[in-house]
Amino acid sequence: MTPPQRQRRNPAPEPAPQPSQEGEGKPNPERMYVVAGPDGERAELDLVTLIVARAADPPPSATPEQAALLRLCAAPLSVAELSAYLSLPFSAMGTLLTELLTAELVHARSPIVRQAVPDRSLLEAVMNGLQRL
C-alpha cells in the first residue's frame, strides 16, 4: 500500500479571507473593541510579547479591566497568557495594552522573531534548555 501523494499547491490566488485587523481602512463593526474604547491605536504586539506592570499596584484611576491585567502581569506574562486568563481575543488585547503602554503603566518586552539567517546562539540556548526537560 502506498500513501497518497501530495501535489504542490498552485499558488493561484484563492478568494482569500481577510484578517479583520487589516480592513480596507474602514473599521469593522464586528470587532470586539468594547473593552478597549472607541479609537485606541493598536501597538505592534505579538502573541509572545512579554508584558510587565511598572508598579506593584494598579493606580486608582485604572478601570477594572486594566486593574485585572496589571495584577496579572506583576511578573512578566505573554500577551497570549493575558488573553487566555482574561478571556479576551488577541486583537482586543492589543487595544487594551496600547492604552496601558501609552499611560506608562506597563513595559513591553519585544519577542525574538525569526531572522532571515537564524541566530545560532539563540538556537543553542534553546537546545540546551530542551535537553533539561
Residue type for 93, please?
Answer: M
31 contributes a contact to other proteins by CB under 8 A: yes
Residues 91-110 that bind other proteins (CB under 8 A): 91, 109-110
Q: What is the DSSP string of 33-93?
A: -TTT-SSPPPP---TT-EEEESSSS--TT--HHHHHHHHHTTS-EEHHHHHHHHT--HHHH
| Total of chain residues touching other proteins, rule CB under 8 A | 73
Q: Which grid cell sits at 80? A: 497570549
Question: What is the smallest separation between the CB atom of 95 and other proteins, expressed in angstroms?
Answer: 12
123 contributes a contact to other proteins by CB under 8 A: yes
Question: What is the smallest separation between the CB atom of 51 and other proteins, expressed in angstroms?
Answer: 11
Q: Which is nearer to other proteins, 47 or 103 (CB)?
A: 47
Residue type for 37, please?
Answer: G
124 contributes a contact to other proteins by CB under 8 A: yes
Please answer whether residues 99 and 33 qualify as being in contact, where contact means their C-beta atoms are separated by less than 8 angstroms: no
CA angle 99, 77, 45 (to 5 degrees): 45
72 contributes a contact to other proteins by CB under 8 A: yes
61 contributes a contact to other proteins by CB under 8 A: no
12 contributes a contact to other proteins by CB under 8 A: no
11 contributes a contact to other proteins by CB under 8 A: yes
| Residue from the set 61, 89, 105, 106 that interacts with other proteins by CB under 8 A | 89
| Residue from the set 54, 67, 103, 104 that interacts with other proteins by CB under 8 A | 67
Q: Which grid cell sits at 101? A: 503602554
Residue type for 54, please?
Answer: R
